Every structure is written in C-alpha cells, then in structure tokens.
Amino acid sequence: MKYRKLGRTGYMVSEVGMGCEGFEDKSFEETLELVDAMEQHGINCMDLYTPNPKLRSNLGQALLGRREKFVLQAHICTTWKDGQYKRTRDMEEIKASFADLLERMETDHIEVGMIHYVDSMAEWDSIKNGEIMKYAQDLKNSGKIGALGLSSHNPAVALDAAQSGLVDVMMLSVNPCYDLLPAGENIGQLWDGKSYENQLINIDPTRYEMYEKCQNLGVAITVMKVFGGGDLLSAELSPAGKALTVYQCIHYALTRPGVASVLIGAKTAEQIKASVGYSAAPESEKDYAGVFAALPKISWQGHCMYCGHCAPCSVKIDVADVTKFLNLALAQGEVPETVREHYEVLEHHASECIACGECESRCPFGVPVIENMQKAAGIFGK
C-alpha cells in the first residue's frame, strides 16, 4: 500500500481507503473481519458518514488496541431517527450525534470532522457563516477533531469551500463521467442517463479549477463514488458507453490534483483484497488512457490526463509532472511557492525540451506537449 499526505493536515493516508457502506448490517464478528482485512492490507483511512448506532459500536470495539493506526473521517450533521440515517442542520441533534459518535467509537477525537452533504451554494453560505461552522471550529480548537472537512457533489461548492480557508479536506464524487458534467446542485444529474445522451467533451471548467485550487491550497480530496455506484464497471450501465475496470477507475481518481485517498465500499475481506491489489498492479492494468480515448460518448481531446503515455521523453523530462505544475500555475494566475519548489526539484525541466515531437505522437488525447513545455519554461524560468 502506498500513502499520501492528506493535504495540509499532517496525516498520511492510504491511497485506497474504506467507506462505511460495507459495515452496514454486519455483526461484530463480521465487522472485526473487515477491520482485520483493512489492517492486513494497509488501509488506514476510513469514512464514517452513517450515524447507525450499531455500526458505530461494532467499529469502536473492533478498533480497540489499534485506534491510532487509523485516520477516521466522520461526519458532523448526521443523526439517527426512526431506524435510519438523516441529514440534519439542527444544532441540538448535531451535538448529540457527535457525542454519541465519540462514545460508541470509544475515542476522544476524530481525525477529520466532515460537515455532511452540502450541495447548495446558498446552504454553504449559511453554514460557513453560521452556528454549524462555529461548532465545527470549536471541535477543532478543542482537539476533538484534528481537521475540518466538507462533503459535497457540487464542485462549485467545493471550490468556494477550498478558497474559504475554513476547510482542510473535501469529500467529493470523482470519476471520469461525473467530471464532464457542469457544476450543479441537483445530485441526480450525475447518474441520470439523460445527462449523457449527447457527447461530452473535456472536463467541466469548474471541476478543473476546483482540483487545481485544492492542490495549490493544500486542501485534500477524499473520493466517493469512484465507480459511480458500480455503473462504470458495467458495459450496460456505464454512462461512458463502455465498462471500465476497478483499477482504471481508482487510477483516474488518484491522478486528479489534490486527491489523497479513494474510498471503496467493500463488503467482504475478499473485495478489500481485490481493490488494494491496485497498489501492486502493473501500470498496464491501471492505464485508462487508451480506453478513455476510445469511449463512444466522451472526449478529452486536447486535455492532459496525466496518464504518462507521453513517456519516455528523449531528454528525460517528466512531461506529466511538468504539465501538472504548469496547469496549477495557470489556474492560480501566479506561481505559488509550493508549486515552484516542486518544479525546482524535478530532475529535468521544460527548457530542456528539444521539440522532437515523440511525446505528441504517443499522446492519445492530442495534447500540444511542445507548446506546454515552452509555456512552462517561460513561467518557471527554466
């Protein structure tokens, strides 16, 4: 298992993390088996959106003696009513649910406290200026949460949250189909077949800016719905018109700027093992570029996917990394110090490009690599 920095939080998280869906309706013994499998395979990042009391209690017991090995991302603004999960904005319910979380999980803190499910810009404005944000910041200041997060399906909300300086971690739905749809407050459009009836070309500009801003500002992204609820793995159901593999979906998400961990919804130890196999899989099994370039309903023509198909460079420039740093600088409108530092330590720089064109001949998406190298050399000075 490989690990990544969770943005500016100071935590290190496994590239493949765990959602809590797989723990629903499980006995303690089954929960223990899943947690054992997570530890065995190096998964240390876990999302806990559900306030299900049985699930919380089972997990708390299963983590005894090894709690410090896990980075927990638990949600503020969820409660349990009439035997089911409910999103809430009622402060009394919010506080009672968080207290219940700590008690049942048998811990005195949560690494990431995630304000739950904010897709409306108006609601985000209300939250960031209101009691919920004040409560969340109080939790952070008191050490009951280590970092503050926000979950959303709307990249416009995510972009504003990242720029606000209030949020350290964003939980977002990330996959190659959702990324082409325009930002919006209607979550249903992401899996509505009508959204994909006409060909979609290149990533939505708001999503693109959101990724770049998160990377620049040190706001980490943890990924939900990497398989689109399983639809992307089915040739019949995939909005792309063709099935993708588990590894291709995970690799796509992990090559987006700012992404730290992809949260899978495994329900068995075997499913956990299958997903974490990504870490040791050969590049040929992770590679999505060839498949994406041939998708019947989607086109990324001219857009760098950071897939690495341009390699090897005849003068050993890491073209994908140079392009990523270039895009980060262009999105910011300046060169942030962190981006400049990362560019500086590259073994070879854009100015070394000899314009041989070999990279462009290999690119499945028709990216103007030589032009990008010239831009990067101009911006970074070498």
Tens digit of pLDDT for each residue in 89-132? 999 999 999 999 999 999 999 999 999 999 999 999 999 999 99
Cα distance between residue 35 and residue 241, in whole Å = 35
Domains of the chain: 3-286 (3.20.20.100), 319-380 (no CATH)
pLDDT grade, residue 1 (50/70/90)? Answer: very high
Q: What is the DSSP letter of 183?
A: P
CA-CA-CA-CA torsion sign (20, 104, 72, 81): positive
Cα distance between residue 24 and residue 47, in whole Å = 13
Rounded percentage of the chain residues whose pLDDT exceeds 90: 58
Cα distance between residue 180 and residue 298, in whole Å = 8
pTM, rounded to two decimals: 0.81
pLDDT at residue number 59: 95
Q: Return the top range by mean pLDDT from 147-156, 187-196, 291-300.
A: 147-156
Q: How far apart are the first and last CA of the chain?
A: 35
pLDDT grade, residue 180 (50/70/90)? Answer: confident
Whether the per-residue pLDDT at 344 is higher than 70: the answer is yes
Mean pLDDT across the chain: 89
Closest CA to 171 of 147, 150, 154: 150
pLDDT at residue number 157: 95
Cα distance between residue 188 and residue 177, in whole Å = 13
Return the bridge partners of 14, or none. 3
Between 109 and 364, the higher pLDDT residue:
109
Q: Which residues touch 20 (CB under 8 Å, ≥6 apart)?
A: 46, 47, 48, 49, 50, 55, 59
Whether the per-residue pLDDT at 192 is higher than 80: the answer is no
pLDDT at residue number 140: 97
Q: Which residues touch 291 (CB under 8 Å, ≥6 apart)?
A: 242, 244, 248
Return the bridge partners of 4, or none. 13
pLDDT at residue number 332: 66
Over residues 52-80, the pLDDT tens digits come to 999 999 999 999 999 999 999 999 999 99
Question: Which range among 10-24, 152-166, 255-269, 280-294 shows the weakest confidence by mean pLDDT?
Answer: 280-294
Note the maximum CA span of the chain.
67
What average pLDDT does this structure show over 231-243? Answer: 80
Over residues 281-308, the pLDDT tens digits come to 998 899 888 777 777 777 777 778 777 7
pLDDT at residue number 345: 83
Between 345 and 165, the higher pLDDT residue:
165
